[in-house]
Amino acid sequence: MPGKLYIVGVGPGHHDHMTFRAKQVIEESDTIVGYETYVNLVQDLIDGKDVYRYAMTQEVERAHQCIDLAKEGKVVSLVSSGDPGIYGMAGLIFEVLAESGWDPKSGLHVELVPGVSALNSCASIIGSPLMTDFAVCSMSDLLVPWEIIVKRVEAAAQGDFVIVIYNPSSKKRIHQLQDTRKILLKYRKPETPVAIIKGAYRKSETVVMTDLEHMENYADKLGMISTVIIGNSATYNFKDLMINPRGYKSKYNLAESEIKN
């Protein structure tokens, strides 16, 4: 029987936010592979399966093992938090397959199962910050040169995009978010709303509502499972929620219903 490889996004961590398809393919799989923290998110769904747990820096080994196991006839789920197609393992898997001459139509069956990404889950907690155009940037410069990240941040700042920041800092990466703040202050007011969400929909969840001027005061709330959402020129706070207007106020009277009986 031919093997299969599922690249599965399990969302922010709570099963309520995992898609039906994600649960379905994990159940179908006989083998589970993933970064240990991500595997732990689905621990109760994988009893009796072969499980391969990896450290954070072993992405290439993880990719090759998934592919090799599937080619041997295993049904493999490579699990990832959020969406594996957004800063996840999907890109590496497809790169490795492409290098090997894989044919999507006749070769190994591979399915990407999307999940709720951090930008979705974090935005849902703090209101409606992503109602207009937004940009997503990662502060991790392990694979992308910092000079390129700076250019992207500058472009997003100039374009007045709401900005979602993944991987804002770590023990070794301190200056990146500080530099980003300085760039944004060239184009945005100090009182621009900022939300820092850590561990969205997990037991450890924390939310801080602040602004661009005071963002640095909350460095202790940052880390690899934190996401920072920075508003644009129209964003405002309302009772601990961040609202980004879609533009209806310019065309409609929002205080009155226009539906008439």
Q: Is residue 71 domain-shared with residue 128, that is, in the same domain?
A: no
Give the Cα separation of 186 and 6 in Å (integer): 44
Which has the closest alpha carbon to 124: 176, 155, 164?
164
Any domain includes 211: yes
Q: Is residue 104 domain-shared with residue 20, that is, in the same domain?
A: yes
Any domain includes 62: yes
Please give the tally of structural domains in the chain. 2
Any domain includes 252: no
Q: Is residue 190 domain-shared with residue 219, that is, in the same domain?
A: yes
* CATH code of 142's domain: 3.30.950.10
Q: Is residue 154 domain-shared with residue 234, that is, in the same domain?
A: yes
Q: Is residue 38 domain-shared with residue 63, that is, in the same domain?
A: yes
Give the Cα separation of 70 and 110 in Å (integer): 9
Can you give the pLDDT at residue 260? 52
Q: Is residue 94 domain-shared with residue 196, that is, in the same domain?
A: no
Any domain includes 207: yes
pTM of the model: 0.90
Please tell me whether residue 27 adopts helix, strand or coil conformation: helix
Can you give the pLDDT at residue 220? 79
Q: Average pLDDT for consecutive 10-residue bins of the chain (261 residues)?
A: 93 90 97 93 94 86 95 97 95 96 95 97 97 96 94 97 93 86 97 96 92 91 88 96 80 60 50
Q: Is residue 28 domain-shared with residue 103, that is, in the same domain?
A: yes
Q: Are 193 and 235 in contact (CB under 8 A)?
A: yes
- Write out the residue range of the structural domain in which residue 108 sits: 4-116
Any domain includes 248: no
Any domain includes 249: no
Q: Is residue 224 domain-shared with residue 136, that is, in the same domain?
A: yes
**Tens digits of per-residue pLDDT, 14-61?**
889 999 999 999 999 999 999 998 999 999 999 999 999 988 778 999
Any domain includes 250: no
162-166/4-9 β-pairing: unpaired
Can you give the pLDDT at residue 259? 52
